[in-house]
Amino acid sequence: MKLLRLAPENTKFPFMRFRRVSYPFSALLSIISVVLFISLGMNFGIDFSGGTLLELRARDGAADTAKLRSIAEHLNVGGVEVQGFGGPSDVTVRFGLQAGGDAAQQAAVNRVKEAIGDGYEVRRTEVVGPRVSGELVQSGTLGVVVSIVAVLCYLWFRFEWQFAVGAIIATMHDLLLTVGFFALTRLEFNTTSIAAILTIVGYSLNETVVVLDRIREMMRKYRKMPTDQLIDLSVNAVIPRTIMTATTVFLALLSLVVFGGQVIRSFSIAMIWGIFVATYSSVFICSPMLIYLGLRGDSVGPAPAPAAKPAKRPA
């Protein structure tokens, strides 16, 4: 039985020939992302922009989150989040701040309560203001920055400094384009989106480390080969694995977009964008950077000697 191959073996595609195109193209996309972020901003969800939370408990049986979401979305109160928690009869309904101040917000709360009816007990009503949401934005941003710095410090000690610089630039590139993607598509940016960004960073670093590890392995083997040819050889060696991994993750995320519902839609769509950006940056951003930083085969230490086998004792 012949195995499925998404990419041919022993390819000789000249990836590094396109570095003179990929860098201006990525620079243009990065500038556009910054402009979109400044001009349009992020479409902050209730977690960041503030709103009202209703904690409900079904009086009879389990809570029907799909029905509650459908009811709330037809009340014109803005974005609505309905999530179960605790037991099967417990559910929360959240919607954003209303234009018109406290009076408009209270009117929206009353409309939601009336639409829900007597089938649910309202156990708690809580209003989250913009000040609390602003603190959440700062905490989320700090968490992303600290996580990235911690991983990049590991890369700095794991590889030669040229590899670490390339990984840092590729990761910042992916992060910037993801922020621009959120600003352009107006996907709701909430705490789930923070998780998506961290996951994209992790996926990007994983792809980058795979490529860099193969480059270093080839440099130890072909110490006199020109750097651009050596990188092409290394990328062609890992491209079947990269395509297979990206395709598998894409299919899983596509199923989440189609069947996962509204709650994780922004996470799934952002992750699909992230796997393409991460694969692109590991090949066309990180790898060519090694050429510009002057890395050569003799810059990498020799391969570790194989461990000696213990001598057999005489019988």
Q: Please say whether the structural domain 51-128 has been given the CATH code 3.90.550.10.
A: no
Q: Give how far Cα 281 sits from Cα of 76, 194, 278, 285, 288, Å.
A: 41, 21, 5, 5, 10
Distance CA(164)–CA(158), nearest Å, equals 8
- Are 46 and 95 a contacting pair, CB within 8 Å? yes
- Highest-confidence segment of 24-28, 235-239, 308-312: 24-28
More confident residue, 43 or 141: 43
pLDDT band at 34 (very low <50, low <70, confident <90, very high): very high
Residue-wise pLDDT for 223-270, tens only, equals 788 888 888 888 888 888 888 888 888 999 998 888 876 667 888 899
Instruction: Supply the pTM of this predicted model.
Output: 0.75
pLDDT at 315: 47
pLDDT at 134: 60
Topology annotation, domain 29-41+133-299: Multidrug efflux transporter AcrB transmembrane fold (1.20.1640)
What is the residue extent of each domain of the chain?
29-41+133-299, 51-128
Q: Which long-range contacts (CB under 8 A, 24 or more apart) does 154-157 make?
A: 155/205, 155/209
| Average pLDDT estimate for 187-211 | 84
CA angle (97 as vertex; 92, 100 as ends), nearest 5: 140
- Are 120 and 108 a contacting pair, CB within 8 Å? no
Looking at every residue in the chain, the average pLDDT score rounds to 80
